[in-house]
Structure 1
């Protein structure tokens, strides 16, 4: 969960902490691997074909074979936990790791914020403590904590404090995507919760939310006043000004315009390479054709790397994860919803800490039987045995 960055601490840094892969490797040596459902094996086979075909026909990128191979291995690592058993204790440890990591990130940001001068930093605060690499971790941790039902008295006392720490950490990312994802997931959660809640619980929840909101606003206004100013100007005032939004969308030097330019370049590239995309090479390959070096979007990043069909398989797995979590773990489900929204503006599962989240969640759905669709001849093709070799 703790990223190890190579290339500095800025936007150009690459997170390389994939130590979670040591667990399935250990299970391999212990002989405790399991066979995942056939749908996973078919997906892995398809993604391998994308790599092979793109390597052969994209002759202009042969010099980048090592880089392509590394990106392919990193991408395929998300399937590693489907080969191991995941029980309830591991799920509990997974959730605890999310919360502990978020606490570490948040407390670190809070300390740095005050040591450097707090709100007196002004716009420099974004460069000093802000960043989009941890926003989705805060979202996951917030929902896991908020929807938890601890029984020990101490845990119930600590819970509100943890929730507030997650929210402060989220705010100190100085990322508008963090607030949009939180508001979107919380708004949808509220709407859906109204159907199954009694009036008494609704009144109690509204009262507690109002008290928490007033207290939170007081603390933010007192100790983190620039945070309120920042999001007031950059988010709420900005999107309420239609002409300003239109100007930014039309200007490549703005954050919004840069994303439009990058996404357009990706769509143009994929339209010419629909089956393979870039073959796992990143958005840096599009610099010569109008790209800016980063997809600024988790889904456009996958679309570029794997093409249309690989992208659809990726979305299908996200849907299956959501379907499982909706009935099994509400905290992880709503955390996933927030992360999905967040991924519309930044890479999430591409980061090493995000890759761990997705790897574990894919491992969870692999514990069941995700069957291959019953299309004519498809099951027979998957289950058939190769013909015996007869020497001539």
Structure 2
């Protein structure tokens, strides 16, 4: 048996068996202190010279995986208020010396850390990023269940580029050309034709975008939902409610992680809504240059600052982007506009969504206007048989995690980041 307890389950005055890595070793001559680290924290192992295991403990070096059994003795100066006095030691796996990167307080080069990602994750603050990210997805699913959404599992192989354009990865599928899905959009829409009115999906999506910025990945985890809806406000209200739930629960369930990063999460009471035209007016008053048809990175940052100052939240919905900037499946508003939105949080777009074009003829016309051949979209046939009006959204999970913890680079929130250069580990 590797363990009877994790480090945070041990009680002073009781015996325990723990397994973890020797994070720190201090040999004081006649006394050895070992800080043992497992997934839940640390425990101090104290070995005196008269302990029969003293010689064995002297031979242990940093990051060796060991199992220790013993009694937990009260000691107010030790982590957690106790120390373990061992009566057995088993070396599970030795660690080579030196380590490829430091897992203590010495900061390594970021790319070097990514090369050794799973050693780097032994640092508590790095592991905390992915534990928070895991909890975010748990909360998303919990909220979806409360709101009667059905989980679907969309294929990440497709015969057509979902979003149109050229930002896709072509692959050879036996003797046919296929693509890695840019989103599950067409599948989640098509499911609504079956009679299910609310669906969601979580999985990787792929964008062949040659960007070298701290905010872009070529492969990222996307949370997608689609629901029967006629009004854009229905979709906005659903995401607003979900963000309120997620942030409320993160404050409860992940307080130790937020404290580690010195983060206080403000739960948005009401997320402000502004059209793109209104956003440009706000930015003009702030002396920020705009592109008129889209938001620049600086525009996103400044608009979040405005929302924080005027509405007490760094969340802000920006709506009604021009059709030229949105995919073919977005419902148009007038000749040039759309029933679309982006959600900004803490200075970055984390969500894109809107009301979809459910009418077959109009959808085909939109596809043609984008310069795409409708014949390449098999999903269109489902729109001939009573497709309900609907809308939806997609959230970049790494981006959301990045902004919650104020990380500098989205790759810090990706377990195995795939950018224009990296395919390992």
Instruction: Name the structure where helix makes up a greater proportion of residues.
Output: 1
TM-score bracket relative to the smaller structure: under 0.3
Q: Which has the greater radius of gyration?
A: 2
Instruction: Name the structure where strand makes up a greater proportion of residues.
Output: 2
Q: TM-score, normalised by structure 2?
A: 0.22
Which one has more relative contact order, counting CA pairs under 8 Å at least 6 apart? 1
Q: TM-score, normalised by structure 1?
A: 0.23
